[in-house]
Structure 1
């Protein structure tokens, strides 16, 4: 324990704090503040918890920004075991909400969603694993072993069921393998295979005899393909979301708008503070406010990629680029769902949507990226 503390202290003293990315911190805080204001406007009783979560999240961000990411990554197999135990435990002991078992109940404190923290654990674990195997990343045996190790937690999340988070993990895996140096020939071969296979799978899951998806998941896809047939049922949520965003026009109706024609006043959306927070944002802050939020999220991704470019090693490069992938994918899907460009699926808008698990996990991710930035150009 003393040796580990000395290692931490030595690393802390070696940091050049002029490299601490204050710009990224300020962008994240700006997003978080906008999130609290929008959540407060969307529904009563959630903003204070979100504000508390930001306070805890900032502490976690600073803490993880000061711990050497290589030191954390050295515990990859312990972290992998913790990840598996956590995901199995939620399946066995978690609470059931609308047929999904994704959360632990924390009583008056709300719920805890392990899959949100699993994103950060998988990011660290496989950044280290791919770095250790970077010289043979394109070998079939390495790809197979990596895929099997990755598939275990992926399967557990899919079984919750949580298809949207499963897709985040699939996208993260693809980005990590690509950045890790996977051969372009293999990437090209995968694309040639996956694109027609994906079209075949899409056809299959729309058939009445399909067994891959649960009924509600198939219904969401059918709703996306034939929205007019589901206008009064499963498409109503997205339709109302699009109407709300459009009604905001250029500058919006203003925060805390409570007229009968608003999302909140008219009760047009279920749980608007979470998956459909962008509808509230678009209605009350308009096109300008929506563009500001999208721009800030884009800046977060760009800052992460710049840090990845200058990272001291492959592990750091994978952590920073992998976190950029998580943020960009979740933002794209959340906004795509709210604007009916994608099938309805539940993914939080990073730093904006209500949800303490997502918020704290994202602050941890930013902390890791900041630490990678602190050590850039250190070999």
Structure 2
């Protein structure tokens, strides 16, 4: 479980980027809603300490017991849907332990990354076998369906994208992906036609249907205050635009601020990027994206330098996780995607999200700590697809 490491191999650059990102994120949370500052700050501090501890745990030991993490998370998801679930905003996605509220679907992101990395690394010769791919599909679809039933369609889609992208990076043949795409396009088209044409579809909730329909039919110039999805995105876009180049400043008292007027719903959570856009402007938005981009790049570099295939896939999975989640969150806030509840990594309030992200970073740090030094001079020469 624990090994002897050379401290000079530790990825201090990634740690520094995470510190800068965390301090910046906490300042934004404090401006968005100061009531959450202490809780978020404590969450960052605890998660950071856990990350450092995890970074010295051999990632191959974690992969060895991948099935334990998988089973535990599935039990938690079943518990949320049956006995222990705590509802909020029309969904049952959490359970409470005293004052702490946990969301198992966040832990599932990391559990699936470890599951896919272990199974693929242990069965490289079977990678293009339909039987093996069906096994992975069954093992990943079961918990993803549990998440979709909460309902949490956005996270279910994100989880599916993580698994598919990891399989692509692992080297699944283009032929298989081509066949999958040829099947997926008509299925997705039929689903969208069904959603648009049926007033109360049985596959999704009415509010989810309305958000999809509104997005397909186009944005109205009038803001419907009876539709949370519409006004959240409409005011978020206005807030970002009003920030111009440098913004109105953190913790400002500007009477024209949409955040100060209470028009940015969930300002400290899913729509925190709107606060960044309004108060720090285009400059602050670019800094936010750049910091998250650097974290993804560090994960990719760790993947290229990894000493084995399992470590490479873990780092790829974490990069995909952070990259896709960032794209979806900012896409929703800027109204280029339908409204859906996905947090902005490291910025949105949420202890479970923070804990999962920092544990994932700890594993990436351990992969870097055990990197193949011989590959450092030619780190971009290898093909990610194996």
Structure-1-length-normalised TM-score: 0.94
Secondary structure of 2:93's match? strand
Counterpart in the other structure of 1:357: 352
State which of 200, 207, 210 in structure 2 corresponds to 1:216: 207
Change in CA separation of 1:229 and 1:216 when aligned onto 2, cut-off 3 Å: farther
Question: Across the two proteins, how many residue pairs are aligned to each other?
Answer: 368
2:197 aligned with 1:228, yes or no? no
1:244 maps to which of 239, 243, 248: 239
Superposed displacement of residue 292, structure 1: 0.6
Task: Give, in angstroms, the shift of residue 100 of structure 1.
Answer: 0.8
Aligned to 1:3: none
Q: Distance in 2 between matches of 1:262 and 1:229?
A: 20
The answer to whether residue 9 in structure 2 is matched with residue 19 in structure 1 is yes
Alignment partner of 1:94 is 2:85:
yes
Gaps of 5+ in 2: 375-386
Distance 2:315 2:117 in 1: 10
- In the alignment, is the contact (CA less than 8 A) between 2:112 and 2:163 conserved in 1? no
- 1:158–1:166 CA contact under 8 A, matched in 2: yes
Partners of 2:259 and 2:310 in 1: CA distance: 45
Q: Which of 38, 44, 52 is residue 42 of structure 2 equivalent to?
A: 52
Pick the aligned partner of 2:133 from 140, 143, 150: 143
Partner Cα distance (1:196, 1:250) in 2 = 43
> What's 2:287 paired with?
292
- Which stretch of the first structure deviates more once superposed, 199-208 or 51-60? 199-208
- Structure 1: how far apart are the matches of 2:222 and 2:307? 52
How far apart in 1 are the matches of 2:262 and 2:18?
Answer: 30
Of residues 59, 76, 84 in structure 1, which corresponds to 2:66? Answer: 76
Verify the 8 A CA contact 2:31 2:251 in the aligned structure 1. Answer: yes
- 1:124 maps to 2:103: no
User: Deviations along 1:134-174, whole A, 9 cap, x unmatched?
Assistant: 11011111011111111111111111111111011101110
In structure 2, C-alpha distance between the alignment counterparts of 1:41 and 1:224, rounded to whole Å: 30
**Shift in Å at residue 265 of structure 1?**
1.6
Shift of 1:221: 0.8
Distance in 2 between the 1:196 and 1:257 partners?
50
Contact 2:248/2:254 (CA < 8 Å) preserved in 1?
Answer: no
User: Match of 1:279, SS?
Assistant: helix
Q: Is the 8 A contact 2:305 2:373 kept in 1?
A: no
> Take 1:258 and 1:193, find their aligned partners in 2: how far apart are those partners?
53
Deviation at 1:102, TM superposition (A): 0.6
Q: 2:312 aligns with which of 312, 317, 327?
A: 317
Gaps of 5+ in 1: 1-6
CA-based RMSD of the aligned residues comes to 1.5
Output the CA distance in 1 between the equivalents of 2:109 and 2:238: 33
How far the C-alpha of 1:229 sits from its partner, in A, is: 7.8
CA distance in 2: counterparts of 1:268 and 1:61, whole angstroms = 36
Alpha-carbon distance in 1 for matches of 2:220, 2:180:
35
The alpha carbon displacement at 1:297 in A equals 0.7
1:259/1:266 contact within 8 Å kept: no
Residue number among 155, 159, 169 corresponding to 1:165 in the alignment: 155
Distance (Å, rounded) in 1 between the aligned partners of 2:362 and 2:12: 12
Alpha-carbon deviation of 1:193? 2.6
Give, in angstroms, the shift of residue 214 of structure 1.
0.9
Cα deviations across residues 230-269 of structure 1 (Å, max 9, x unaligned)? Answer: 7213311111000000010000000002333213321102
- Deviation, structure 1 residue 64: 1.0
Which of residues 166, 176, 190 is equivalent to 2:180?
Answer: 190
Residue by residue, what CA displacement relative to the aligned partner does 1:256-307 show, whole Å, maximum 9, x if unpaired?
0233321332110222100000000000001001001101111111111111
The worse-fitting range, judged by mean Cα deviation, of 181-190 and 192-201 is: 192-201
